[in-house]
Structure 1
């Protein structure tokens, strides 16, 4: 019996990764946010957690960051198979920076996490009404569903519904717990899944592949031209959701706030927009303007007038990430490279929230950026 225990301990010691989580829904949510390409590059880091990246057409790069604090258990030793024991002291010094990389079919991983049908977004969220664009003639921000019921009678009423991450999952649902392990290059990613301690368990072994480099899209903060933080992701999500899917091109138009304020009082067609989203396609074009309102744009910084276009099909890939995020950062550098960062709160195992991120970077169309 002692030999069996010793053998099991040795096997665990050779693992590059051993991690567990009591509820896989949030992990699945972070993966779904970038699930538009099946080939996913995974990087494991002792201090950085799991980084999953996918790309499309050498133009769009999406990355999901899953940090160690999101797990109940986290033990990662990326260099365990790459150095002799004589270098163990040096490894311990550099363990925080070591990484292990492989590729995995993302669809398969997500399907495994949802093998008991408990890792999906609840259908209850599909019919939820989000805060819409407020018209000048509207007198209230409320949609009227709550009637005259005071906020103090609703638990969590001081937190907007679209900013509560639990809103995306139904209450009282069963949850799937998971133990994840990876023994190194050539080995599968192994998931041990259980719906509860007394129910059935399932072991999934997902084939891993040698990692190939993704496209590199470094964002130069020194060349930043436009920076916007949407107070709620719904302001961008609703705008993109209402656009005609047949649109070919999406254009962002921005002007410094000072220029907009100094502009003459002309008709709307001649006004300089603070920030405008313009979608164009075969059947015409659509324009949506954002007001200079901190309830909408928490931060707005524009160095000079900017007009830059992207393929609509690439920008629409962000809708899944927008659905599960609470805040969105939009940045554009001088050459037109777009960075969209989505803040996704994830509950910590011991209480509280830990912020995670999903980031999209997209190259501008081959047009003159002005």
Structure 2
């Protein structure tokens, strides 16, 4: 790859170096969590995690494992920085978002450490573009404390089933109500919009349900405005894991297969709408 011999300049060594033969494998995942302008990036030997939050109610994480990259090197235990996600995506698609599959954009990404910009070297058809994106002080992120030992109910669904549900349900509703139960209706999605109430049920033996592990009946409501950003990841995914814990917190984990057939994950955490729950008491 031409970028492998690209001179990176002198000075302090890079604490993070990553290369991809196809930059779209990164940009498509980042678009799936782009509902705010800024993101926090964490790099460890295991790979890269990009986190976006809003209103202290929702958090999205895109996980890009180290083996997705052709080269991935982290010189410290962990490397963290905040970046303008919109600018990063503009740079990653600088040669155009719809390049033909035969001419992917190669990417080399380098970061020297705190206070330094993120360097992007992008090459397509022998043309190399260098981008420098200023990084910022990382902010404290929410800890949703979503522990697997506290998970009450879990369903793995083929993504087409959830895509159909969101297309059929009334999105003028302020909330999406999710019922998960070991008994009927098993898995129910409900909205309460201008046209009245709408319910969509999935039996546990549905062809769309790949795994069904429900221990107790739970009904929780979540603001539609918080769920909608996750539909970007849903559109790219082939499977979705839907989990709720003992507090009613929701985890939507999307399994996404990139253009090279590799598996990546995007996960959304969402807190329940307590105001509506209290109003019904």
Q: What is the TM-score of this pair, normalised by structure 2?
A: 0.90
Deviation string, structure 1 residues 45-72 (Cα, Å, up to 9, x no partner): 1x22111000111000100011111111
The two structures, once aligned, show a CA RMSD in angstroms of: 2.3
CA distance in 1, matches of 2:221, 2:233: 21
Structure 1 position 9, deviation (Å):
8.1
The 10-residue stretch of structure 1 (105-114 or 274-283) with the greater mean CA deviation from structure 2: 274-283
Unpaired segments ≥5 residues, structure 2 = 1-6
1:177 aligns with 2:89: no
CA distance in 2, matches of 1:193, 1:77: 22
After superposition, where does 1:187-336 map in structure 2 within 5 Å? 187-196=116-125, 198=126, 200-230=127-157, 232-256=158-182, 259-260=183-184, 273-336=185-248
Among residues 59, 62, 67, which one is paired with 1:61 in the alignment? 59
- What is the SS of the residue equivalent to 2:231? helix
- What is the SS of the residue equivalent to 1:226? strand
Q: Aligned pair in 2 of structure 1 residues 313, 176: CA closer, same or farther (>3 Å)?
A: same
Task: Indicate if the aligned counterparts of 1:251 and 1:277 stay in contact, CA closer than 8 A.
Answer: yes
CA distance in 2, matches of 1:292, 1:212: 41
Task: Indicate if the aligned counterparts of 1:181 and 1:191 stay in contact, CA closer than 8 A.
Answer: yes
Count of paired positions: 273
Structure 1 position 26, deviation (Å):
1.2
CA distance in 1, matches of 2:229, 2:113: 31
- What is the SS of the residue equivalent to 1:326? strand
Deviation string, structure 1 residues 214-265 (Cα, Å, up to 9, x no partner): 11101132222211001x2111122113333322000011221xx33xxxxx
The equivalent residue for 1:356 is 264
Task: Indicate if the aligned counterparts of 2:16 and 2:79 stay in contact, CA closer than 8 A.
Answer: no
- What is the SS of the residue equivalent to 2:145? coil
CA distance in 2, matches of 1:221, 1:68: 23
Task: Indicate if the aligned counterparts of 1:194 and 1:201 stay in contact, CA closer than 8 A.
Answer: yes
CA distance in 2, matches of 1:319, 1:201: 34
CA distance in 2, matches of 1:22, 1:279: 43
Q: Which is higher, the Rg of structure 1 or of structure 2? A: 1
Structure 1 position 347, deviation (Å):
6.0
CA distance in 1, matches of 2:102, 2:87: 23
CA distance in 2, matches of 1:242, 1:103: 37
Unpaired segments ≥5 residues, structure 1 = 1-6, 79-97, 123-169, 261-272
The equivalent residue for 1:105 is 84
Q: Aligned pair in 2 of structure 1 residues 39, 178: CA closer, same or farther (>3 Å)?
A: same
Task: Indicate if the aligned counterparts of 1:179 and 1:193 stay in contact, CA closer than 8 A.
Answer: yes
Q: What is the TM-score of this pair, normalised by structure 1?
A: 0.69
CA distance in 2, matches of 1:242, 1:195: 41
- What is the SS of the residue equivalent to 1:62? strand
Structure 1 position 10, deviation (Å):
5.8
Deviation string, structure 1 residues 284-339 (Cα, Å, up to 9, x no partner): 22211112325211111211221110001111111110111111100001110101
CA distance in 2, matches of 1:302, 1:365: 21
Task: Indicate if the aligned counterparts of 1:70 and 1:346 stay in contact, CA closer than 8 A.
Answer: no
